[in-house]
A = this chain, B = another copy of it.
Amino acid sequence: MSETKKTNIILFSGDYDKAMAAYIIANGAAAYDHEVTIFHTFWGLNALRKDEPIQLKKNFLEKMFGRMMPRGVNKMGISKMNFAGFGPKMIKDVMKKHNVMPLPDLIDMAEEQDVNLVACTMTMDLLGLQKEELMDDIQYAGVAAYLADAEDGAVNLFI
């Protein structure tokens, strides 16, 4: 039995505020010397998308999903009080004022702290997302790999 405690977070949500919560907990747990994994599934995959559009062959439905979903964290909405996109701007203004790290910086920090960023291959397939559209240096896995980590997890969360 390993001495290192594990924190495993499933990020299902595509909301900016929920992704922030996931990455704040992940960075905290990494600072606590946990082995930390964020398993991005469904709309949570959008947190891993590159900002720029990538040219790829896709069918009609995949193109529609690709266009409707936010490209990268800066386009994500918030779960409450979105007000046609006004909410995220307000939150970001307040964050800047209070020196709270915005989401892209939290993701950078997670990478520096060796948090495992995993993209769920089943939902990538489902939403027509391809590896070229996601950040480099991330891992790819399915539910079996998640469970192998989670069954020994000290902290398991679904966000």
Chain A residues proximal to chain B, CB less than 8 Å: 5, 7, 10, 12-14, 17-18, 21, 24-25, 28-29, 31-32, 34, 41-43, 61-62, 64-65, 68-69, 79-81, 90-91, 93-95, 97-98, 100, 122, 125-128, 143-144, 146-148, 150-159
Contact = CB atoms under 8 A, between A and B. Distances in A.
A156 to B, nearest CB: 5
A41 B61 contact: no
Given A28-B143, A94-B128, 12 more contacts: A7-B147, A21-B158, A24-B143, A28-B146, A31-B144, A32-B144, A32-B151, A34-B151, A61-B90, A100-B126, A156-B156, A157-B158
Q: Is the contact region of chain A dominated by helix, strand, or loop, or is it mixed?
A: helix
A95 B100 CA distance: 39
19 contacts: A5-B151, A7-B151, A10-B157, A12-B21, A17-B42, A24-B143, A28-B143, A28-B144, A28-B146, A28-B147, A29-B147, A34-B147, A64-B90, A65-B94, A68-B81, A69-B81, A95-B126, A150-B155, A151-B154
